Structure 1
Amino acid sequence: MIEVFKTGLSALTISAIGATIASGEPVAVKVFIGTMFEIGDNTGDRAGEFQHWYERYWTEAEPQDVPGAFKPVYCDDAGVCGAVLGMGKVNSSASMQAILLHPDYDFSQAYYVLSGVAGTPPSRGTIGDVVWGTWLVDYDLGHRWAPEEGEPGAPVFMPRSGYESYRLFQLNPELVAWGVALSDDVELRDSDAARQYRQRYPDAAAQAAPGVKTGTHMTGDTFFHGPGLSNEAQYIAELYGADDYMITEMEAAAIALVIDREHGTDRIVSLRGAVNFDQGNPNETTLQHLDPAPGETAGGFAETVENITLVGAPLVDRIIADWEQWKDGPPASVAD
């Protein structure tokens, strides 16, 4: 098992960070963790996307408000910073830009972990999976029409020229390989409710225990559901030459675009945990899947948000522990 280093802030460190900001010297950010929402408080209640990260790195950190950002930024003494950025492409990317441009922070050598929950197609994933993104694809940049207005059975999406430089991002394969290797032996959480829910789907992938995987993260403000739109997402991934569509989410490609314009994308990882399938099982309609009866929802949310941090933290901690080897980019060879 890879040793995981837990970082924290002493009162003296908090004062030091406050003094640094007050003196005009920016905080040197080594890793920035961006999540999209939190359910309630940052600790002590039901966990959303931010809570497990917060409890690992920032329980003693002072929140720093940034004009234009959705929520405050937290930093520890090792240079691990993070914030809740907000849900959706516009919300999250606006927050990221505000934080990137704020003079209190130096992002010139920073790595980024874009972290959150998501959906997955039952043919490739299951509840509780954590997926390292290899490609980020924008689901929305193109033309769409109603199926009855096109050729029967033909795709109803066509790319629009002019979006080529920001509808598709390949994430750094070396950095992804590090993330996968460092999380290879992480024991993922699961629940009886999730195990029972998976059995409603005939797919082997859907019925499997959760694991760590890789693939394309499809970013769209539309919370799409159903086999038709799932197939369309796979079609778009293939059309753009990306890997198989594994995750549907609402923010990563937009945040990556903001980071790319300032610092490039070589230090970005997108890490998503699957809390739902992107379509109903064969015995329910898409609408029934979207609006389930009481007691019919998928289990495993609490376990999945914990899994995301369990999978992502070893990479964060390795970057910090071996900063001299990482500050100029990921080491070329993946080591245990």
Structure 2
Amino acid sequence: MLKKSVYPLFFIPLFISGQALANEAPIKVKVFVGSMFEIGQNTGDKAGEFQYWYEKYFKNSQPITVKGAASPVFCNDNGVCGSVLGMGKVASSSSVQAILLNPQFDMSQTYFMINGVAGTPPSRGTIGDVSWGSWVIDYDLGHRWAPAEGLHDGQTFMPRKGYENIRSYQLNPTLVSWAMKVTGQTKLLDSEGAQKYRQRYPDDNARRAPKVLTGTHMTGDTFFHGPGMSKEAQYIAKLYGADDYLVTEMEIAAITQVIARTQGTTQRVFSLRGSVNFDQGNPNETTLEHLDPAPGQTAGGFKETVENIATVGGEMTDYIVSHWDTWQNGVPALK
């Protein structure tokens, strides 16, 4: 009798719980927001890449644990979901794959808002800029050697055969054009510290106020710095037939490859980056001095830039969600 009374009490609740989970419909995701890191908590402290998104979209959402993802996923009632993916190619792309393959989510019509901070060459961008990637390129898929061992087209890089289909992706030009139409005139925040720091550089683009623009986003697992590496990034961009190199970051090419494999398309991918540093020092400092600045000699503008990213990306996210009838089946023609 004792065994019969214990058996149903122990097993029935588990059985019902499993059935409930199995029968629950997946969350229909309209826009997925992927950031790379958060400094502390998702709200209430110094903001990293995800905090402003969290406070706008997910403050009342419950975390959804996904096996294999770096952090929980949050979803609101309007079909916007988001997560902190982890920094670098492996951490971020493995998180995206785990989320995409998880049956709790229906991402068959999802737009991917992949965003974070970045560096920019002073000849083309400045601190506080927000840019939409027109191309994403993997900086690492090739051969490199020491300059003393000879140059190839004036560079120490040569692409390796076999990577042609994954080393670069042109993101949907119509989607990028829509992003500029919706957000191109957005007023961006700036800081006094960034304004002073810009004046160290002679370039007109480095000295100007921040704005929204487009260009090639270059993905590398190393934080490459210096005019030589910057020229190499531009060389690779032009070698692959892409737009001018505008941003150096660590994730989007790998994430785009995962999306291409699992979704069969990259037509709904956004790469959104805000520039928090220059990819090289000014003419009066060495690359090492730029990498290891004296106290009080950093660029400034980080807080304003991460807020700019969420502001610009949020405008596009809200536009898609509020016009879902015309966006759910694909990117509308731009009129």
Same fold (TM over 0.5): yes
Asked whether 1:269 is paired with 2:270, we answer yes
Contact in 2 for aligned 1:141/1:159 (Cα 8 Å): yes
- What pairs up with 1:4-23 in 2 under 5 angstroms? 23=23
State the secondary structure of the residue aligned to 1:33: strand
Give distance in 2, aligned partners of 1:247 and 1:215: 8
Percent pairwise identity: 64
Match of 1:160 in 2: 160
Asked whether 1:290 is paired with 2:291, we answer yes
Contact in 2 for aligned 1:191/1:299 (Cα 8 Å): yes
State the secondary structure of the residue aligned to 2:243: coil
- What pairs up with 1:173-322 in 2 under 5 angstroms? 173-263=173-263, 264-322=265-323
Match of 1:12 in 2: none
Give distance in 2, aligned partners of 1:119 and 1:21: 43
The residue type equivalent to 1:295 in the other structure is G
Contact in 1 for aligned 2:123/2:203 (Cα 8 Å): yes
- Cα-Cα RMSD: 1.3
TM-score (norm 1): 0.92
1:251-273 Cα offsets, whole Å, 9 max, x none, are 00000000001111000000000
Give distance in 2, aligned partners of 1:62 and 1:20: 18
Match of 2:5 in 1: none
- What pairs up with 1:21-36 in 2 under 5 angstroms? 23-36=23-36
Compared with structure 1, are the counterparts of its residues 182 and 198 closer, same or farther at alpha carbon in structure 2 (3 Å cutoff)? same
State the secondary structure of the residue aligned to 1:77: coil
The residue type equivalent to 1:67 in the other structure is K
Contact in 2 for aligned 1:168/1:240 (Cα 8 Å): yes
The CA deviation at 1:22 is 6.4
Give distance in 1, aligned partners of 2:152 and 2:260: 39
Match of 2:4 in 1: none
Contact in 2 for aligned 1:39/1:48 (Cα 8 Å): yes
Compared with structure 1, are the counterparts of its residues 152 and 81 closer, same or farther at alpha carbon in structure 2 (3 Å cutoff)? closer
Compared with structure 1, are the counterparts of its residues 207 and 323 closer, same or farther at alpha carbon in structure 2 (3 Å cutoff)? same
State the secondary structure of the residue aligned to 2:60: coil
Contact in 1 for aligned 2:185/2:212 (Cα 8 Å): no
Contact in 1 for aligned 2:68/2:94 (Cα 8 Å): yes
State the secondary structure of the residue aligned to 1:43: coil
Contact in 2 for aligned 1:20/1:26 (Cα 8 Å): no
The CA deviation at 1:40 is 0.6
The residue type equivalent to 2:109 in the other structure is Q
Q: Which 5+ residue runs of structure 2 have no aligned equivalent?
A: 1-18
Give distance in 2, aligned partners of 1:76 and 1:121: 37
The CA deviation at 1:20 is 8.6
1:280-301 Cα offsets, whole Å, 9 max, x none, are 0011100010010100011100
The CA deviation at 1:315 is 1.1
The residue type equivalent to 2:216 in the other structure is T
Compared with structure 1, are the counterparts of its residues 30 and 151 closer, same or farther at alpha carbon in structure 2 (3 Å cutoff)? closer
Q: Which 5+ residue runs of structure 1 have no aligned equivalent?
A: 1-18
1:200-259 Cα offsets, whole Å, 9 max, x none, are 000000000000010000000011000000000000000000000000000000000000
Contact in 1 for aligned 2:52/2:310 (Cα 8 Å): yes
Give distance in 2, aligned partners of 1:151 and 1:257: 30
Match of 1:39 in 2: 39
The residue type equivalent to 1:254 in the other structure is A
The residue type equivalent to 2:177 in the other structure is A
Contact in 2 for aligned 1:132/1:176 (Cα 8 Å): yes
Larger radius of gyration: 2
